[in-house]
Structure formats: structure tokens, C-alpha cells
Structure 1
Amino acid sequence: MASSKSTSNRMLYAGGGLLLVLFVAGGLGWQLGWFGGGERGLSVEAEQAERRTITQVVTAFGRAQPEVEVEISPDVPGEIVELPVQEGDVVEQGDLLARLEAEDYRASVERAQAGVSEAKATLAQRRADSVQARRTYDRQKELYEKEVVPASDFEEAESTYEQAVAQLEAARFRVESTQADLQDAREQLQKTRIYAPMAGTITRLEVEEGERVVGTQQRAGTEMMRVSRLGQMELEVDVNESDVVNVASRDSATIEFDAHPDRSFQGAVTEIANSARIQNEGSQNEVTNFPVTIRVLNNPNTGLTSGEQGAIARPEVPPTGGGSPVLRPGMSGAVDIYTETAEDAVAVPIQAVTVRDFAEARSGAPADTAGQDGEAAEDLRRVVFVAEGDSARMVEVNTGVADDTYMEIKAGLEGGETVITGPYSAISRNLEPGMKIRTGEEGGQSGETIAMTQ
């Protein structure tokens, strides 16, 4: 009895497994067109080629910076004894920014003044010596001509006079030298006071009162602060070498900053670098970019230009106008540069355009087959596939500009054709001219992406 029941269970399991295999095979055969209506064709998506305006966009990223920014470094070393500004202060040209300890420089001025006085006294003495030597020379010359004194006395007087003249000339040069030293000492003293070279905002303050700073005459001086004109901002972005050829001066741009996600700013290209900025040079990750400068238009920081808030501002003193800057140096942003626009152009989705090797199609050989010279004989051209009834036709096209979605077709299509847009695997590899196809509507998918089968 138990043996009969076990045999029945095994037959039941075997029958169930067989039904499952037949069900899977049937579904696969239906999809592949082995039965159930004959050849159904390759399931594809399609869209009509239409005329539209296409604007080519180059996207890049960078950081905001003032168009004019001056680094303030001292010309002379010393200790900061006065620092009347703070970061964020608005200053006018000529405002005092810092003062260095000046005692040593005052002493240098006094020494230089003493040196000038000494040189002038020496000059007066040499002038008197010259006059005396001249008189002696004249007397000896007169006596020598009357043959009263020997020639040696006359020659000695002449030599003494020439030496006196030379010493007088040297004394004059010494006075000029000491006067130059005095002027230099006075300039060094004046450089202990650092003034604003232009009107702007203190956007960076690197020092505190009491610190010692190094002057630029000895080495690269200590950067004390930066004065920037926040009324006009710009971005410096890195544009890839393949895109920079499409960018031109004065191209318009749209800028979005991370700090202002709900607001966009208009910009314009003002400068394109001629030299590349190369990262990871010599490695497999080498990247070549060109710096491009984008000016932010319409001054988003209106009210922060010089003169509108007065001179040096203080947090404890309410400002008379303006407010916090909308854009601050260092803010990161994304830029879309509009490089070229094609109006009323025949356009197709970007994914509809692919590249096929016409040499392979002619010869029937694989694309990587080498010729007699050892080089691969390829004839790569851009094509689209047009749906005509239930079959696909390959059309060679010439393309133009492209945006994020559509590409311009300059030649090959007139507009109105039904262009196959997917799936990607079918367009890039599997579709062939004359191949049977069925669109999404025919397959009951209403335009949704259908898995490629053949």
C-alpha cells in the first residue's frame, strides 16, 4: 500500500515538472516567434522626427570670485601695532588698513639725516680746499712763468689743485648718495602704514594685532588681507578640451549656485584661457581642461559697492544701506554655457543616432579585420533607423548641434519620419536594414521600453 502511494507521488511531481518546462518553453517560443503567429519582429520604440530649436550647451563647474581682488602684503617687515579693520568691512581708497611698529624706521631716517648733514659739511670743506688749492696753483704758475720758482714747485701745486677738485666732486656725489639714503629711509617709514589701494570689502583677514609680518622686499611677503570689489562677481570654470572649441567669448550662460538652489543668474563668457590646466599628467587618469571665466550679469550684490555703505563698517553699527552679499567668494556653482543655436532644425532624440561600419557591411567581414597593411579598414558613419511599416530602414545622416535630449539632423531626414529610438542594444548592435520590427503600441506596451528579443 505504501509502495503504491510513493509511486503516485513521484508521478505527480514528474508531471508537474514537465508542465512547468512546457510552460517556460512555450513563453520563450512565443516571444522568439517560433509559433503563435509566425515572425513577430524585433520590439522597438519609435518617435517622429520634428522641427525644433536646439541650443548646444556646455556644462562646467567652478567657484565665485570677485573680478577685482587685491592681496595686501607689507613692503617692510615689522610688528602689527594697529589693525583698524575687520573681515567684512567696507573701505574706501586711502583708508588705513594696518600700521607696523616704526621706531626702527624712524631711527633709520634720523641716521640718514645725520649722514646728509655730514656729507654737506664735508662738501663745504672740500670746496674751501679747492679754492685754496686754486690760489696756490695760480701763484706758482705766475712765478714759474717768471722763472722765479723751479718747475717741481709748480707741478706740485698743479697736482694739489687737481686732487682738491677731485675731492670736491667726490663730496658732491657723497651728498647725493646720502640724500638718496634719506629718501629711501623716509619711504620705508611711510610703508609702515598700509592703506587701501582701492574701494572694496575686506573679504579675507589673515593676521591679528601683535603679529609679526614679513615684507615683500626680502621674500614672498605675508598675506595680511584681501580687498575685493563684490559689486562684480565672476566664476572660473574648467571646460574639457573637447568642449572648449565650441565656447566663444560673449556666449551667454545660466549659473546656479549651491547656496541659492531656487535662483538662477545670467552670465556671459569674458575670457577663455589659451593654455590648458592638466590634472594627473602622465597617468591613465590625465584630464585636460581649459579655464573659462564667466561674468555674473546684473550685479546680484547691488548695494555693496563702495560708497553706498560709507567707509569702514562695524557689526555693532547698523549699516546705512545694502546688506549681506548674495554671492560670496568661494561659493560653488554650475554653469550652462549656450554655445550655438539651430532654429527650425530637423531633430531626433540623441539615442536614435548610432555609428555603423559601412566597410564591414560591404565586405561581410568583422569590423576588426585588418587589411594588408596591418591597419583596420573601417568606414564609420552616423546613421538612424526609420520605421517603415513593419520593417526598419537604415539612413545615413549628417548631424549638427545637440542639447541634452535632441540632436540636429542636417542631411538625411526631412522631418516627419518615424525614427527608432530604443532599446539601446537594438540600435547600437542588432538592428539591420530590412529587419522586421514592431513598435511599442503593436506589442501592447504603449511606448514603454520593451526588452529586445530576436
Structure 2
Amino acid sequence: MNKTIKTARADTPPRNEATPNVTFIPGAVQPDVVRPAKRKRRTRRWLWLPVIIAVAGAAWYGWTRYGESPASSAVVTEVVARGDIENAVTAVGTLDAVNSVDAGAQVSGQLKALHVAIGDRVTQNQLVAEIDPATIENRIEIDQAELANFEAQLISKKAQLVLKQANIDRQRNLVVTKSVPQSTLDQAVADLAAAGADVNAIEAQIRKQQATLAGDKVDLGYTKIYAPISGTIVANPAKAGQTLNANQTTPTIVTIADLSTMTVKAQVSEADVIRLKLGMDAYFTLLGQPGKRFVGKLRQIQPMPDTTNNVVLYYALFDVPNPDGELMMSMSAQVFFVRDAATDVLVVPSSALTYPQKAPGEASGKGSGRHDGTRSEARGEGRKAQVSVVTASGAVETRDVEVGIRNRVSAEIKSGLDEGEKVVVGTGSATGNGRNAGLPRGMRMPPMF
């Protein structure tokens, strides 16, 4: 049974009428009347919780992105493996036939017939075109008539010569008998000499006419154009029915090329041409067949360069067989002139190599790092270098190696490494030489040289 208890204290001031009455129930939890300050403090604690979570997340993100990590997880490695390597001078070239001939017209006239088309294969002395021979045949008829006229005149002149010779013999006998004066004999001698000269003149005219006739017959032969070499028709600028004028220039009727052997004309810069040697191995690849090599040997470096926009380029030529006819004229080729090559050797990326500093007093220009490595490519083999090797325990150690053939991508290792070892080709943190300090993990600063 609930009871209402009223209490009063002597020192308690009189109750204000505005103060509400408070009823206490024994055994029941009484409401917290005087706790407003504690409730505010609890509310403030909950307000700080998101801030703490945000700070913790930022710290975790910064540690994962920028924090230090062990060297074994911060380096990029490559396995030392066996492979092929070469050091080559690269260039761009075009394909052309080793032997090509323009078959043209040596006489003027209308192109009567063209017996071949582009792409046809022809053999030497095969008829490929004909020019109308009517004009030349008329000239030959005239030449033959003139020749017959001169030959008739020659017969007449020779008869006169025989007569003059007989007259001299007769006049000489008469002079002996004093029947005729000496002047008569002298006139007979002069007539004989004139008759002989007439015979010589006619004979000369006959020879001239014979030569003219022979020339016209040659021209008649030129009306038939034969293939000068065996090969493929690669061009025919003249068409059937076209009038050809051969008085000033020789008109080209067809171009015949021997495509059984092709030549590559590679444009080599003046900085690289000094590295080429006659007889060195060369090969090229095509855009359509990047994995197939066509090999040959450098046979010529043309001394006169081609200069365009102040860029000096020299032509280096080498030949390759083309038995299947897959190589065509004017194809673009990526050319490689091989200076050094090796097969089945230990190969590592060039980025794994570093070169120690030279001692004071040595020739300048042989610094360390990639800049000196690029120079070593031109100097040849036998350079000493250093690589960082990841051991089986995960530690990184620096090791001296002997470098053989090197290009911009790979390098041959002659000694100092074994197949299967891992070499460091890059770092992903600030460890090591400090080049990548301050960069996010997994990022590398690009080389300066």
C-alpha cells in the first residue's frame, strides 16, 4: 500500500508556491531529477567518435601509400635467363629490284600493239610491243631504189673508164708514128683520170646509200620491242595507240624488273653510318610480317647523302633473295645492321645494370648509371658493372658482373650471375639510393639519362 510521506525540516525555508510537489514511492526507481550536466558530457563523447575514425582511416591510408616497407616487397625483380641478344644499328628502308630495265622506243611512230600487262613474267628476247612500221618500210623502199640507181650509174661510169683507157693506148701509138700531136695524147690521159674519178664517186654514193638502207632496216627492227632481260613487268606508261616521239627522248613502253633478288635501300643517319662496315650481317622485317627476318650482307654505302630539312641520311644497300616473290617493290622495311650477336647466353634487362664511378684522373664522359651504359653500347663488350641480387633469404646484395653485348633493352652477362637468380630492375619505395623518396609505393622516378 502506497503511502504519501510529507517531510519538513526546521531549517528549510518556507516552500515557494511555485515549487512543485514531489511524491516519493518506496521501492520504486525514482526519476533522475538533478542530472543535466552528465547527459551533456555523454553527448559530446559521441560527437568525437566520427573524428577519431576519420583520423585513423587517414593514417592507415597514408601508411599504405607512403609508408616504409621491407626491401623484399618494394623492389621489382627479373629472373636471369638464357636467350639471344644482338647490338644493331636500326634504320628505315624501302625495297627495290636489284636489276630493272626500261624498255623504250628508239623510233617514232604509233604504238601498234602491246603484248604484255603489269605483273606478267617475260623472258629475255620476248616480244612485248610493236610500233607501226609503215613509215620506215617506205623509207627502205626509197633507199633501195636510190641504191639501184647508183649501181646503174656505176656500170656506166666503169664502161666510160674502159673506153678512156683504150683511147689512151690508141693515141699513144699515133703519137709514136707522128700521126697526131702530143696534145691529143694528153687530152686522152685527162679523160681517163676524170672517168676514174666518176667511178670512185659513184662507188662512194653507193656505200652511203647502203649505210642509209642498213640504218633504216635497223629502225625497222626497232619497231618490235623485245624484253632485254627476264623478269616481271612492273610498269607500262605507254598505251596501245599512243604516238611515240623518239627524236628528243626515248619513250618508255614497259619497265621490266628481276624480282628474284631484291635490294634494300636503308636510310642511315650520319651519327650511325660510321658504325657500319661492308660485309656485316643485316636483316629487315616487314609491317605485315614483323616476326620474319630477311637476311643479307651490307654491300654498299653510297657516298652522296640525301639531305632534307638539314637532316643528313646515307643510303646503305644489301640484297636478299626473293624466290617466292613475296617481296615487292617499294615495300617499307625496318632494317637492322648487326654489329654483335650472341645466342643462348645469360641475359638481364639493361635497367638492372649500374656502373661504378670512375677513379679521379680517368677520361671524362664515363660517369655512372644509365648515361654511361648508353655510351658502353657503342664501345663494345667487356664492361664491368654492378647489379642488385635478391638472395634466397630475401636480402638484397650488390654484385659485380662482366657485361658482354648490350643494347637499349637487354644485356649479356658473361660472369657474376647464375641462371635463375633474381636481379633488381627497379624499386617501389624510398629504400636503396633514395631516388624514389616521397613517391607512392609501386611508383618509380624515370631515369634522367
TM-score normalised by L of structure 2: 0.64
Task: Give the 3-state SS of the residue equivalent to 1:75 in structure 2.
Answer: coil
1:366-445, aligned counterparts within 5 Å? 384-387=385-388, 400-403=404-407, 405-408=409-412, 414-416=416-418, 421-422=425-426, 437=433
- 8 Å Cα contact 2:389/2:423 also seen in 1: no
Structure-2 residue corresponding to 1:238: 266
- Indicate yes or no: 2:292 matched with 1:294: no
Task: Give the 3-state SS of the residue equivalent to 1:129 in structure 2.
Answer: helix
Structure-2 residue corresponding to 1:173: 204
Q: 2:281 aligns with which of 251, 256, 262?
A: 251
- 8 Å Cα contact 2:87/2:339 also seen in 1: yes
- 1:107 Cα shift? 1.3
Letter in 1 for 2:211: A
Q: 1:108 aligns with which of 139, 145, 150?
A: 139
Give CA deviations for 1:289-330 in whole Å, capped at 9, x if unaligned.
223233145x223xxxxxxxxxxxxxxxxxxxxxxxx44433
Structure-2 residue corresponding to 1:362: 360
* Pair 147,275 (structure 1): closer, same or farther in 2 beyond 3 Å: farther
Structure-2 residue corresponding to 1:221: 250
Structure-1 residue corresponding to 2:17: none
Distance 1:191 1:73 in 2: 10
Give CA deviations for 1:126-146 in whole Å, capped at 9, x if unaligned.
211221222222333344455
- 1:238 Cα shift? 1.0
* Pair 132,391 (structure 1): closer, same or farther in 2 beyond 3 Å: same
- 1:120 Cα shift? 0.8
Task: Give the 3-state SS of the residue equivalent to 1:362 in structure 2.
Answer: coil
Structure-2 residue corresponding to 1:340: 340
Letter in 2 for 1:255: T
Distance 2:91 2:211 in 1: 54
- Indicate yes or no: 2:299 matched with 1:269: no
* Pair 377,439 (structure 1): closer, same or farther in 2 beyond 3 Å: closer
Give CA deviations for 1:70-95 in whole Å, capped at 9, x if unaligned.
32211111112222333333444444
Structure-1 residue corresponding to 2:444: 450
Task: Give the 3-state SS of the residue equivalent to 1:99 in structure 2.
Answer: strand
- 1:271 Cα shift? 5.3
Task: Provide the alpha-carbon RMSD of the alignment.
Answer: 5.0
Structure-2 residue corresponding to 1:154: 185
Structure-2 residue corresponding to 1:432: none
Identity across the alignment (%):
21
- 8 Å Cα contact 2:282/2:297 also seen in 1: no
Give CA deviations for 1:54-75 in whole Å, capped at 9, x if unaligned.
2334444334444443322111
Give CA deviations for 1:322-381 in whole Å, capped at 9, x if unaligned.
xxxx444333343445553234656543345578884xx738xxx9xxxxxxxx965666
Distance 1:239 1:415 in 2: 39
- 8 Å Cα contact 2:233/2:256 also seen in 1: yes
Letter in 2 for 1:240: V
Q: Which has the higher contact order (CA 8 A, sep 6+)?
A: 1
The total of aligned residue pairs comes to: 373
Letter in 2 for 1:170: A
- 1:117 Cα shift? 0.8
Letter in 2 for 1:238: A
Structure-1 residue corresponding to 2:104: 73
- 8 Å Cα contact 1:49/1:346 also seen in 2: yes
Task: Give the 3-state SS of the residue equivalent to 1:224 in structure 2.
Answer: strand
Distance 2:250 2:357 in 1: 62
- Mark the runs of 5 or more structure 2 residues left unpaired by the alignment: 1-50, 374-383
Give 1 or 2 for the bigger CA radius of gyration: 2
Task: Give the 3-state SS of the residue equivalent to 1:300 in structure 2.
Answer: coil
* Pair 393,92 (structure 1): closer, same or farther in 2 beyond 3 Å: closer
- 8 Å Cα contact 2:100/2:258 also seen in 1: yes
- 1:181 Cα shift? 0.6
- 1:184 Cα shift? 0.6
* Pair 190,354 (structure 1): closer, same or farther in 2 beyond 3 Å: farther
Structure-2 residue corresponding to 1:310: none
Distance 2:297 2:175 in 1: 85
TM-score normalised by L of structure 1: 0.64
Task: Give the 3-state SS of the residue equivalent to 2:252 in structure 1.
Answer: coil
Structure-1 residue corresponding to 2:349: 349
